[in-house]
A and B are shown apart, each in its own frame.
Chain A
Amino acid sequence: MILRIAIKEIREHLLTLMFSISMVFIVMLVVVGTMAYIQGNKEKLKVYQDYIKSRNPHLRGTIESTAMSPNFFYKRPSPREFCAVEDVSIWRPLISQLGSSTIIGEGIECALPWAIDYYGRGSWLIWEGLNNLFTRYEWDGSLPKALRIDWAFIVGVLGSLIAMLFTYDAISGEKEKGTLRLLLSNQISRSSILIGKFLGSIATLSIAFGFGWLISIIILSSFGIISLKRDGFTLLFMVPLLSLLFLSLFSFLGLLLSSIFRSSSSALLTLLTIWVVFIVLMPGISSFYLRIVEGNFRYEDVFTVLARVKKEVDMKYKDGMDRIKEKMNDFSDKEVVSLLRGYMGDMERISSEVDKEFDKVLFMVERGRRWARLSPAMLYRYSLEALAGTGFPGHKEFIMQVRRFSRDLLSYLKKVDMEDPNSPHIFWVRGGMSEREIEIPLFTHDPKLSWAIRESMWDNVTLLVLGILIFLLSYLAFMRADVR
């Protein structure tokens, strides 16, 4: 019985004006979005590939040169980005340098080799962009405000609206037409009517959006941007599943309000109001939160952290400093050597301090995003961002990978240095490290699928729970509805 109702609903929906208009909108948006995305992705990919090609995979160097020279970490542009396009300013290669101090001469101060070059030599991560690429994006603010046209927009904003427009008159419309009592008097259970109508609408929606999804995948794979082998699981399974979940959430919402209200137009009005509040207004709350709260958040500069740690460490080693200054590069004096080792070891704290400051930024953005999750469309978008490896979750993951790599590299260098009996074992000081040559390990950004799924789990589960809740509510509402 459910199947018959569903098929009848599908046939009805397919013949409506709403369906044809939504197909037109979906196809138009998909084409615009994918075309723009292809252009953008090509550029990012080119930069990334140039970098990969320019790397020498078998580069050898001394420990000193590896530790003290700049390291460039590039983030691989995710091919699945078309699901949730990130703002380009977020995509920047990170530049990090492993050495925490250099012996530099700064005018009169060259007798003191402990001046830390604030330019960025430190085992911390500093954001730097490829300047000529990014001076273009500075004018973004002058352009008309617009959301990004990606799959998260198409389903999140448009899809929720269309889902509601398909089901708003499912119950109340039939009641008005008088066919609901005819249906029920034929001993068709209420639950089968509800499920049947739901199936009908979700099938129509999946035809419409599935078609759009297919078009985008075909366009993208024909341009070689995505490969079904590598991303098949996410693209053909996770994302459509998630979209179905999201759309059924809104279908059930439509059914719920349809059962509550007697007239379709009031149901529609309430639905549209809910849509405006939750899909259009809610995401703005997080930006509001961010701007208000972040104004009071003070971060320390890299310089300030540097100065602070240096002062503390200088305090601690104040007595030994004179001896160090006298015998700067003479590593034969045991006391000097141990003082130096201690001093440099303490200076290594700078990296963790700077990381802490940086984590504050990430934490703040995380809190802002939490507020935005009040809107189901944002839940959907964040989940897609995690699955596609873009946006804030993708970037956070990239930073974590870089940090892990830096730590591992540092411990590897130290290990090799320890094994060398000829080395004075004073890290970060020129001439204090092993002369051995090593093959420098290279960093490749490798976002794992397991991470992506884990990251999106919370949002998926919330969507699921919300969907089940609304389903139960609509079930309840329809059970209690007066059908006469």
Chain B
Amino acid sequence: MRAIYRIVSKEFLAHILTFKFALMLLICPSLIYMSIYMGAMKYKGRLKDYYANQERIMRWIEDSVRTGSWAVESNVLANWWVLRKPHLLSSLVEGCEVDLGDFIRVNHKHVPYKAFREAEMLGGYRIGSQRGIFTKDFQSFDLALMLQIIIGLFAVLFVHDSISGEKEAGTLKLLASQGISRGAILIGKYLGAMAVLLIPLSIAFLEGSLFLYFEFGEGIGLDEILRISLLYAVSILYLSIFVLIGILSSGMTARSSTSLILGLSIWIFVAIIWPNVVGFAVKELYNRLVPPDKPVTDKINLIREEYNNEIRSRVNPSPHPEQIPLSLTWNPEEVMCIFYHDLLPPERIPEILPQVQERARLAEMIGMRHSERIWNVRKDFLERYPYRYIRLAWFLARAFPSGAYYELMSILSETDWGSYLRSLDRAREYRKTLQEWATNSIRTMRWFTNMFGYPDISKVPRFEGKDESIGEGLLRARWDILLILLMNILCFIEAYIKIASYDVR
């Protein structure tokens, strides 16, 4: 135990007093600051857009209600949108949040299946939306990507000569002759290097937290602080993998320059080559293997046909089928009741009203049922094609530490793909409250006529975007956490084997 402590302190002092450490201490904070700054500014922009879009949607609906063109409650829901709120921690770990859409369409007759980007929502004829296609040309950078690359680099640079360098200097045999076990040497060097490398890492996270606090003071709560500390813990685990890899490569050769090259090659492969190869290959494969969604659209059109037929037969069996099938009624008195109620003689109203109400109720029920069917078709397609390949891509990326690290970081920041799926799930749950409201509203006359006044938008239940709790996030991330721990253990065992069989003379 004392031996380990002595080795640790000696390693620590030896590392701290090098030029390497000074340079790293100088460079890291500025690099980190730049990436956090960029990420935070992007987040700010997206948050501003989020509030602006909310305003826009509300104003649009309110304007239409006031000008009377949507003076019927059923139409208020027809264009009801819900927005995905950007997460604060996306300034640290961008994840998938930025590239996926924000607008989710939700109403009692439409099951949300995807979040749309602004460009898609407003149609491709918006010139400004075309800039979106070029932004894919530019890589975006966040803290997690930066750490993913430089943690490994600095770890290897510090540790590459821990075993082979000592052997060249001749001090390794002296150490071994002191009766210190090989395992103790390994642990001592490992802890020494970790202690040194933790300093810039801690500075980085401290810097990040302070910056976020000063920039977005109100947004930082206990939850955020806990998440940031979890990100910190994950980064420590990732660092330790690379330290172990460095020690491992140091223990494989007798010359420190060779072990440096070996360590660097492993770093190049793990942090630079593999993530890009996997991402690129799966993207290409994916774009080739996913069939066009024409069969899906065909099926959906079929269902819509059936919906129209059902409405025509049960709700509005008009003798003029060339009419738009979704109109509620062909009976002239009922039409007057809905649209020109002042023309209807008041004694007829008590008889006509319930008829219209019944028709409306039937129509909406049929609509809701068919929307479920449409959703099932879409869900089937999504599960079978895009989702499966996305899962495959992330699975392959996880094969090496860098992918697992990035995924873990994005799960903890709620910016990963799973978080996107979760927001869609919550939108679907919200839809159930909308359905309840709609069902209750159908019973009133406000649903389909403005005879009793204009619709009150504030009565519509609002979407509460409840964020995922840390516990749920950790549960979702359990396999990644296990994977990183496993990689640590594996590297440790490998390093131990190499050092145990190392020729120290």
Interface residues of B in 333-382 (CB under 8 A from A): none
Nearest Cβ on chain A to B274's Cβ, whole angstroms: 10
Chain A: minimal CB distance from B384 (Å) = 13
Interface residue? A180 (CB, 8 A): no
* Docked-complex contact A290 and B135, CB < 8 angstroms: yes
B282: interface (CB < 8 Å): yes
Q: Which of A29, A288, A294, A364 is the most central at the interface, judged by chain B CB atoms within 10 Å of its CB?
A: A288
Q: Does A187 contact B (CB under 8 A)?
A: no
- Quick check: B280 and A32 within 8 Å, CB to CB? yes
Q: Are A276 and B149 in contact (CB-based, < 8 A)?
A: yes
Tell whether B233 is near chain A: CB-to-CB under 8 Å: no
Which residues of the partner chain B approach A284 to less than 8 Å between Cβ atoms?
Answer: 35, 38, 138-141
Complex partner residue of A147 from B131, B280, B282, B284, CB under 8 angstroms = B280
User: Among the listed stretches A209-217, A266-274, A314-322, which one makes contact with chain B, having 4 or more residues with CB under 8 Å of it?
Assistant: A266-274
Contact flag A266-B20 (CB < 8 Å), given A272-B157, A302-B127? yes
Q: Does A301 contact B (CB under 8 A)?
A: yes
Contact in complex: A21, B124 (CB < 8 Å): no
- How near does chain A come to B103, taking the closest CB pair, in angstroms? 13
Q: How far is the CB of B411 from chain A (nearest CB, A)?
A: 13
Contact of B288 among A33, A39, A86, A357 (CB under 8 A): A39
Q: B residues within 8 A CB of A290?
A: 131, 135, 138
Query: Is the pair A141, B100 in contact by a Cβ cutoff of 8 Å?
Result: yes
Within 8 A of B (CB), among A98-139: 118, 120, 126-129, 132-133, 135-139
Stretch touching chain A among B223-231, B258-266, B457-465:
B258-266
| B-contacting residues, A275-319, CB 8 Å | 276-277, 280-281, 283-288, 290-292, 294-295, 297-303
Are B38's CB and A288's CB within 8 A? Answer: yes
Find the B residue at minimum CB distance from A361: B131
Query: Size of chain A's interface in residues, with CB distance under 8 A?
Result: 91
Asked if A325 is at the interface of the complex by the 8 Å CB criterion, the answer is no
A157 contacts partner chain B, Cβ-Cβ < 8 Å = yes
Q: Count contacts between A and B, CB distance < 8 Å.
A: 237
Bound Cα distance from A273 to B22, whole angstroms: 13
Mark the stretch among B80-88, B190-198, B212-220, B390-398 that contacts chain A: B390-398
Stretch from A65-73, A87-95, A231-239, A433-441 forming part of the interface with B: A87-95
- Inter-subunit contact B280/A146 (CB<8 Å): yes
Q: Is A53 an interface residue (CB 8 A)?
A: no
Q: Which residues of A contact B141 (CB under 8 A)?
A: 281, 283-284, 287-288
Instruction: List B contacts of A280 (CB < 8 A).
Output: 146, 149
B133 within 8 A of A: yes
Closest B-chain residue to A130, C-beta based? Answer: B292
With CB as the reference atom, state the residue of chain A lying closest to B136.
A87
Tell me the minimal C-beta distance from A379 to chain B in angstroms: 15
B125 and A142 within 8 A (CB):
no
Decide if B135 touches A88 in the complex (CB within 8 Å).
no
What string of 1s and 0s marks CB contacts (under 8 Å) between A428-460 and chain B? 000000000000000000000000000000000
Establish whether residues B288 and A90, one from each chain, have CB atoms under 8 Å apart when the complex forms. no
| Cβ–Cβ contact B98 & A141, under 8 A | yes
Say which one of B2-10, B41-49, B434-442, B486-494 lies at the interface with A.
B41-49
- Docked pose: A277 CA to B149 CA in angstroms: 11
Residue B301 at the chain A interface, CB threshold 8 Å:
no
Interface membership of B14, Cβ < 8 A:
no
- How far is B120's CA from A89's CA once the two chains are assembled, in angstroms? 14
**Is A18 in contact with chain B by the CB < 8 A criterion?**
yes
Q: Flag whether B479 is at the interface (Cβ < 8 A).
A: no
| Minimum Cβ distance to chain A for residue B94 (Å) | 8
Within 8 A of A (CB), among B23-41: 23-24, 27, 31, 34-35, 38, 41
Beta-carbon contact of B124 and A127 below 8 Å: yes
A273 touches B27 (CB 8 A): yes
Interface size classification for chain B? 35 or more
Residues of B within 8 A of A169 (CB): 257
Residues of B within 8 A of A372 (CB): 138
Question: CB-CB < 8 A to B292: which residues of A?
Answer: 132-133, 135-136
B138 touches A286 (CB 8 A): yes
Which listed residue, A135, A138, A157, A287, touches B272 by the CB 8 Å rule? A157
B252-295 interface code vs A (CB 8 A; 1 in, 0 out): 00000110111011001100110111111111111110101110
Chain A residues near B393 (CB, 8 Å)?
A: 143-144
Query: B137 at the A/B interface (Cβ < 8 Å)?
Result: yes
Using CB atoms, name the residue of chain A closest to B19: A266
Distance between A134 CB and nearest chain B CB, rounded to angstroms: 9
Q: Give A263's nearest chain B residue, CB to CB.
A: B19
A156 to B387 CA separation, bound complex (whole angstroms) = 33
Interchain CB contact under 8 A, A146 and B135: no
> Which residues of A, 343-363, contact B by the 8 Å Cβ criterion?
354, 357-358, 360-361
A158 at the interface (CB under 8 A from B): yes
Instruction: Say whether A127 contacts B130, CB under 8 Å.
Output: yes
State whether B293 touches A132 (Cβ < 8 A): yes
A178 beta carbon closer than 8 Å to chain B: no
Query: Can you name the residue of chain B whose Cβ is closest to the Cβ of A357?
Result: B127
Check if A365 is an interface residue, CB within 8 A of chain B.
yes
Q: Which residues of the other chain, A, contact B268 by a CB distance below 8 angstroms?
A: 25, 158, 161
Whether a CB of chain B sits under 8 angstroms from the CB of A191 is no
Please judge, given known A-B contacts A17-B262, A144-B278, A301-B127, whether A89 and B283 are in contact too, CB under 8 Å.
Answer: no
Task: Check if B126 is an interface residue, CB within 8 A of chain A.
Answer: yes
Let me know if A54 is at the binding interface, CB within 8 A.
no
Q: Is A471 in the interface zone, CB < 8 Å from B?
A: no
Tell me whether B139 and A132 are in contact (CB under 8 A): no
Q: Within the assembled complex, what's the spacing in Å between the Cα atoms of A292 and B277?
A: 29
**Cβ of A86: which chain B residues have Cβ within 8 Å of it?**
137
Q: A303 near B125 (CB under 8 angstroms)? A: yes
Residues in A whose Cβ lies below 8 Å from that of B127: 299-302, 354, 357-358, 360-361
Q: Specify which of B45, B131, B282 is in contact with A292 (CB 8 Å cutoff).
A: B45
Residues in B neighbouring A39, C-beta threshold 8 A:
284, 288
Residues of A within 8 A of B258 (CB): 17
- Shortest distance between the CB of B12 and any CB in chain A (Å): 18
Chain B residue contacts of A16, Cβ below 8 A = 261
Q: In angstroms, how far is the closest chain B Cβ from the Cβ of A38?
A: 10
CB–CB A148/B287 < 8 A:
no
For residue B483, give the distance in angstroms from its CB to the closest CB of chain A.
Answer: 15
Residue numbers in B under 8 Å from A144 (CB-CB): 275, 278-279, 282, 393-394, 397, 403, 406-407
User: Closest residue of chain B to A92, judged by CB?
Assistant: B133
B258 nearest CB neighbor, chain A only: A17
A88-B31 contact, Cβ under 8 Å, with A17-B262, A302-B125 = no
Contacts of A358 in B (CB 8 A): 127, 130
Which chain B residue has the least Cβ–Cβ distance from A264?
B257
CA distance A118 to B96 in the complex (A): 35
Q: Is there an interface contact between A141 and B20, defined as CB atoms closer than 8 Å?
A: no
Q: Is the CB of A140 within 8 A of B99?
A: yes
Any B CB within 8 A of the CB of A151: no
B96 x A141 contact (CB < 8 A): yes
A89 and B133 form a contact (CB under 8 A)? yes
**Residues on A with beta carbons closer than 8 Å to the beta carbon of B27:** 273, 277
> How far apart sit A354 and B128, CA to CA, in the bound complex (Å)?
11
B38 and A25 contact, CB distance less than 8 A: no
On A, residues with C-beta under 8 Å from B are 16-18, 21, 25, 28-29, 32-33, 36, 39-40, 43, 86-90, 92, 118, 120, 126-129, 132-133, 135-149, 153, 157-158, 161, 165, 169, 263-266, 268-270, 272-273, 276-277, 280-281, 283-288, 290-292, 294-295, 297-303, 354, 357-358, 360-361, 364-365, 368-369, 372, 391-392
Name 15 A/B residue pairs within 8 A (Cβ), A-sorted: A146-B283, A147-B280, A263-B19, A264-B257, A268-B157, A269-B23, A269-B157, A270-B23, A273-B23, A281-B34, A283-B141, A288-B41, A294-B131, A302-B126, A391-B137
New A-B contacts (20) at CB < 8 Å, excluding given A144-B282, A276-B150, A280-B149: A18-B265, A87-B136, A132-B292, A136-B287, A137-B287, A143-B394, A144-B397, A145-B406, A148-B276, A149-B276, A158-B268, A158-B272, A284-B138, A287-B139, A288-B41, A288-B42, A288-B140, A299-B126, A301-B128, A361-B131
State the 10 A-B residue pairs at the shortest beta-carbon distance, nearest first: A146-B279, A141-B99, A284-B141, A299-B128, A287-B138, A132-B292, A36-B284, A288-B38, A87-B136, A144-B397
